Chain A
Amino acid sequence: GDSVTQMEGPVTLSEEAFLTINCTYTATGYPSLFWYVQYPGEGLQLLLKATKADDKGSNKGFEATYRKETTSFHLEKGSVQVSDSAVYFCALTRGSNYKLTFGKGTLLTVNP
């Protein structure tokens, strides 16, 4: 079945550091890929998405590129802020049901 693997957390960075959170997937066909974020005490929010190979999703300074050859969708940000502290989930959908398959999540803590 479909699966998503994220790098183990937690990740702790200083403000303005570069962020990479790795995500790889296993799925047949052509899934759509997503990054969701969960801020403390809040619900899951879509951060960015990409629906076909080589697409780049971007939002709030975060970027991720859909790499079919490496089945990856790594999340990057050039300069993190304290307000980026949250749990980040990589996810995919495939087929007409559009149900999301999530990774386990990566906790990011950014210190001032």
Chain B
Amino acid sequence: DTGVSQNPRHKITKRGQNVTFRCDPISEHNRLYWYRQTLGQGPEFLTYFQNEAQLEKSRLLSDRFSAERPKGSFSTLEIQRTEQGDSAMYLCASSFVLAGVTDTQYFGPGTRLTVL
């Protein structure tokens, strides 16, 4: 299967702990996006990468959040000192952009985070 994969699928942690999620995009895609979805809401944009460069961060991404995409391949999203309000589904999507024209964003299955 060559779709977007995310690990882990579920994560339960205690408040104050650090967590890290991984996203493996479709291999030829140069754009990678992170979104957060809370219950009853649509996904909200967090950040995106063009290859290894992080080009935009939402104001939703506090300084406890950090994302990386080393070598322009997989990406990690780390949350430090988790809070109960961080409980959500974290979605990763990838796409291919060339000369300002983009292909469809393909989404992974998400990582559901529960902070106790």
Residues of A within 8 A of B (CB): 4, 36, 42-46, 49, 89, 91, 93, 96-105
- Structural contact, B42 and A104, CB atoms closer than 8 A: yes
CB-contact partner of B31 in A98, A101, A103, under 8 A:
A98
CB-contact partner of B56 in A45, A99, A102, under 8 A:
A99
Q: Mark B6-19, 1 if CB is under 8 A from A, else 0.
A: 00000000000000
Task: Specify which chain B residues have a CB less than 8 angstroms from the CB of A104 in the assembled complex.
Answer: 40-42
Could you list some 16 contacts between A and B, CB below 8 A? Answer: A36-B107, A42-B109, A43-B4, A43-B109, A46-B104, A46-B106, A91-B42, A93-B102, A96-B100, A97-B48, A100-B35, A100-B93, A100-B105, A102-B43, A102-B44, A104-B42
Q: Does B55 contact A (CB under 8 A)?
A: yes
Task: Specify which chain B residues have a CB less than 8 angstroms from the CB of A97 in the assembled complex.
Answer: 48, 55-56
Q: Which of A89, A93, A100, A103 has the most CB of B within 10 A?
A: A100
> Complex: how many Å from CA A23 to CA B108?
24
Number of A-B contacts (CB under 8 A): 52
Q: Does B67 contact A (CB under 8 A)?
A: no
> Complex: how many Å from CA A104 to CA B100?
28
Task: Specify which chain B residues have a CB less than 8 angstroms from the CB of A91 in the assembled complex.
Answer: 42
Residues of B within 8 A of A (CB): 4, 31, 33, 35, 40-45, 48, 55-56, 91, 93, 95, 97, 100, 102, 104-110
> Complex: how many Å from CA A4 to CA B93?
20
CB-contact partner of B107 in A43, A96, A99, under 8 A:
A43
Task: Specify which chain B residues have a CB less than 8 angstroms from the CB of A100 in the assembled complex.
Answer: 33, 35, 43, 45, 93, 105
Task: Specify which chain A residues have a CB less than 8 angstroms from the CB of B44 in the assembled complex.
Answer: 102
> Complex: how many Å from CA A97 to CA B33?
10
CB-contact partner of A43 in B40, B95, B102, B110, under 8 A:
B110
CB-contact partner of B42 in A96, A98, A105, under 8 A:
A105
CB-contact partner of A46 in B35, B100, B105, under 8 A:
B105
- Structural contact, A98 and B91, CB atoms closer than 8 A: no
